[in-house]
Amino acid sequence: MENGQRQGAPLIDLDLYRTFFTIAETSSFTKASELVGRTPSAVSMQIKKLETILGVPVFVREGRSVRLTPEGEALLGNARRILMLNEAAVSLF
């Protein structure tokens, strides 16, 4: 790697996966914000960042509730596995 830059696909922060997963489970940005300990605005910004990284929307906003897009559905299983692997790794210590 030249000048400390990563090559390949960008990495997605675990907090983005956690927030995405929580919204998917609750179908609500507001409920998810309470569970992850962030303001609704911060949660919205996290999802905007995730969607920018991926280049696709992951949620369809419908009033006060949301549902996953097909791309969001595809991401959900991976997010679940990544979060479980992280939890398993941390629990070793």
Contact 58, 20 (CB under 8 A): yes
pTM for the predicted model, two decimal places: 0.86
Confidence of residue 47 (pLDDT cuts 50, 70, 90): very high
- Please give the Cα distance from 55 to 58 (Å, whole number): 9
Given this model, what pLDDT does residue 9 score?
79
Any residues with CB less than 8 A from the CB of 9 and at least 6 apart, and which?
none
| pLDDT tens digits, 78-92 | 999 999 999 999 999
58 touches 65 (CB < 8 A): no
pLDDT digit string (tens) for 50-84? 999 999 999 999 887 899 999 999 999 999 999 99
Q: Give CA 38 to chain center in angstroms.
A: 13
